[in-house]
């Protein structure tokens, strides 16, 4: 597999949210606006890339039996780094994402990539995989956030293009489920045509 | 009285699955059969209550005195991971059928965000020990109610003629959206 394919699979063919359906909690929880979605996506991308690199560096040192706990400790350390950095430099975003920042630890994508990919590949390949999957995840979150923001408050990235309040339900919980459901249908249609 | 408010708020108003979006993986994954959902919510409730007690004590009596509260995430996830391992061993001995039924999802409780989420939220809200326990019980009940109702609906859904592209997860998400809409109606009672 060449590196470009390795990088680009995270966007469409194996998109974490639309195709693999991993990491649904942050996906639905933070995407009340495009900006929040993008911020969460980038934070996850950092953790994913760094933990992929770290796991692939130590893969030969860790005994097979304590593999999963070790991965979790590695991931939790990077999440703590993100937590502290975001609290210091982007406090508004940190407050908006709230509980979902510490919960990156239990995001199935991160542990899933560490276990299924990084522990079997070289450092460079693992890093590219992490970056690709992470950016694909960010893309999905930004799309979902944009759609919800457009329908729910008539704006995108905070720029208003419609007067009034929009359909509030799309910013609230039910809208998250509905929009994601229909986006998955759309991606399935597109993927089937391509294949 | 305030304990009743905590419970009602956790079960209905701020339902952990339908309004806080935690624990969606088992919510979508396990909820095909009512029996498995009941088992799953039992396992989650058990782990959640114990985990909240242990993490609360650790946070108050170890992390705060030592001034290392930034280690919260790492400490909590380690405690939860070991607890899940323990539950798995006990369940294997005590109830092999249930162990069989829960299969892969038991180790996945570790990465079930409800458990870590409730532990972190209990600390963030400055609850005392008893309030934290009540909070954990309420959230466990909320998770159970949501996942069992959902499993019942999905049972019926299998018999319906759903458009091909919507089969499986998309229709489940739409149903979850409608369910969340219904739970929105509880807003304002507390």
pLDDT of B115 above 80: yes
Q: Which of A28, A83, A185 sits opposite B170 (nearest CB)?
A: A185
Mean pLDDT, residues A105-120: 82
Tell which of B69, B71, B74 to mutate to test the A interface (max A CBs under 10 Å): B74
Q: Is A36 in contact with A93 (CB distance < 8 Å)?
A: yes
Are B23 and A25 an interchain contact pair (Cβ–Cβ within 8 Å)? yes
Query: Is it the case that residue B157 has pLDDT exceeding 60?
Result: yes
d(Cα B120, Cα A99) in Å, to the nearest integer? 8
H/E stretch holding A155 = strand A155-156
**Cβ contacts of B113 on chain A, cutoff 8 Å:** 25, 103, 106-107
Residue B110 has pLDDT above 70, yes or no: no
- Per the structure block, which two tokens stand in for B111? 């990465």
Hey, which residues 111-140 in chain A have their CB within 8 Å of chain B?
A: 111
Question: Are the Cβ atoms of A24 and B28 closer than 8 angstroms?
Answer: yes
Of B18, B74, B165, the CB nearest to A185: B165
B101 to A40, A52, B33, B84, B154: CA distances (angstroms): 34, 32, 10, 16, 18
pLDDT at A22: 78
CB contact under 8 A, B70 and A80: yes
pLDDT at A194 over 60: no
Question: What is the pLDDT, as a whole number, of residue A49?
Answer: 92
The residue of B143, B177, B182, B188 whose CB has the most chain A CBs within 10 angstroms, and thus the best one to mutate to test that interface, is B177
Give the gap in angstroms from C-alpha B42 to the nearest C-alpha of chain A: 20
- Identify the pLDDT of residue A1: 58
Interface test with chain A among B31, B119, B157, B170, by most A beta carbons within 10 Å: B170
Which one is predicted more confidently, A83 or A162?
A: A83
Q: Of B171, B182, B116, B117, which Cα lies nearest the Cα of B149?
A: B182
What residues does A162 pair with on adjacent strands? none
Q: What is the pLDDT of residue A167?
A: 77
Report the mean per-residue pLDDT for chain B. 81
Contact A181 B174 (CB under 8 A): yes
Which residues form the domain of A73?
3-194
Report residue A33 as tokens: 């606006």
State whether A175 and B177 contact (CB < 8 Å). Answer: yes
**A195: pLDDT strictly greater than 60:** no
Distance from CA of A47 to the nearest CA of B (A): 14
- Please answer yes or no on whether B170 and A182 come within 8 Å at the CB atom: yes
Looking at the predicted structure, is the pLDDT value of residue B93 above 70?
yes
Chain B's closest residue to A188, CA to CA, is: B165
Q: Does the beta-carbon distance from A182 to B174 stay under 8 Å?
A: yes
The arithmetic mean of pLDDT across residues A23-28, rounded, is 80
pLDDT for the residue numbered A193 = 67
Whether B21 and A83 lie within 8 Å, measured CB to CB: no
% residues pLDDT > 70 (chain A): 97
Q: Which of B10, B7, B47, B18 is nearest to B177 (CA)?
A: B18
For residue B29, pLDDT over 80 is answered with no
Considering only A124-128, A180-184, B36-40, B173-177, which range has the smallest mean pLDDT? B36-40
Q: Which residues of B touch A84 (CB under 8 A)?
A: 70
Those residues with Cβ within 8 angstroms of residue B156's Cβ, 6 or more apart along the chain or in another chain: none
The secondary structure of chain A in percent helix, strand, coil, rounded to multiples of 5, reads 75, 0, 25
Q: What's the pLDDT score for residue B108?
A: 66
Q: ipTM, 2 decimals? A: 0.76
List, as one string, the DSSP characters of A59-117. Answer: TTTS-GGGHHHHHHHHHHHHHHHHHHHHHHH-HHHHHHHGGGTGGGGG-HHHHHHHHHT
Average pLDDT score over residue span A151-175? 75
> Which pLDDT tens digit goes with each residue over A132-141?
888 988 988 8
The total domain count for chain A is 1
- Res A3: pLDDT: 78
Whether the per-residue pLDDT at A186 is higher than 60: the answer is yes
- For chain B, what percent of residues have pLDDT higher than 70? 93
Average pLDDT (A10-23) is 77
Sign of CA dihedral B123, B124, B126, B130: negative
Average pLDDT over every residue of A44-59: 89
Helix (H, G, I), strand (E, B) or coil at A159: strand
Confidence of residue A173 (pLDDT cuts 50, 70, 90): confident
Q: Note the pLDDT tens digit of each residue in B42-67.
A: 878 888 888 899 889 988 888 888 87
pLDDT of A117 over the 70 cut: yes
Mutate to test the interface with B, among A25, A29, A169 (most CBs of B within 10 A): A25
Assign 3-class secondary structure to B119-183.
HHHHHHCCCCHHHHHHHHHHHHHHHHHHHHHHHHHHHHHCCCCCCHHHCCHHHHHHHHHHHHHHH
A79 touches chain B (CB under 8 A): yes
* B38 pLDDT above the threshold of 70: yes
Please tell me the predicted confidence (pLDDT) of residue B111: 63
Which of B9-13, B39-43, B122-126, B140-144 has the largest mean confidence? Answer: B140-144
pLDDT at B103 over 70: no
């Amino acid at each position: 597999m060449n590196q470009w394919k390795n990088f680009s699979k995270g966007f469409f063919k194996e998109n974490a949210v639309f195709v693999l359906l991993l990491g649904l909690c942050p996906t639905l929880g933070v995407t009340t606006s495009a900006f929040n979605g993008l911020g969460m996506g980038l934070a996850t991308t950092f953790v994913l890339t760094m933990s992929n690199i770290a796991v692939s560096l130590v893969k030969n040192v860790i005994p097979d039996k304590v593999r999963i706990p070790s991965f979790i400790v590695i991931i939790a350390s990077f999440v703590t780094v993100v937590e502290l950095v975001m609290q210091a430099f982007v406090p508004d975003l940190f407050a908006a994402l709230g509980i979902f920042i510490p919960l990156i630890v239990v995001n199935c994508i991160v542990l899933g990539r560490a276990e299924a990919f990084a522990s079997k590949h070289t450092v460079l390949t693992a890093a590219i995989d992490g970056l690709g999957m992470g950016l694909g995840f960010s893309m999905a979150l930004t799309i979902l956030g944009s759609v919800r923001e457009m329908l729910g408050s008539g704006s995108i990235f905070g720029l208003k293009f419609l007067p009034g309040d929009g359909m509030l339900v799309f910013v609230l919980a039910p809208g998250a489920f509905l929009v994601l459901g229909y986006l998955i249908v759309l991606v399935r249609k597109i993927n089937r045509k391509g294949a | 009285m305030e304990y009743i408010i905590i419970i009602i708020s956790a079960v209905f108003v701020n339902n952990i699955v339908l309004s806080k979006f935690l624990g969606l993986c088992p919510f979508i994954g396990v909820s095909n059969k009512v029996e498995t959902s009941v088992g799953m919510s039992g396992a989650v409730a058990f782990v959640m209550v114990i985990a909240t007690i242990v993490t609360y004590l650790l946070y108050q009596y170890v992390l705060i005195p030592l001034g290392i509260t930034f280690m919260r995430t790492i400490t909590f996830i380690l405690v939860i991971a070991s607890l899940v391992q323990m539950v798995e061993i006990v369940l294997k001995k005590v109830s092999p059928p249930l162990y069989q039924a829960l299969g892969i999802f038991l180790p996945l409780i570790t990465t079930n965000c409800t458990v870590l989420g409730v532990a972190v939220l209990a600390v963030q809200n400055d609850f005392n020990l008893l309030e934290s326990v009540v909070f954990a019980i309420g959230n466990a009940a909320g998770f159970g109610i949501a996942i069992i109702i959902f499993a019942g609906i999905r049972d019926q859904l299998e018999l319906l003629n759903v458009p091909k592209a919507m089969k499986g997860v998309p229709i489940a998400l739409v149903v979850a959206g409608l369910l969340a809409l219904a739970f929105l109606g509880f807003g304002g009672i507390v």
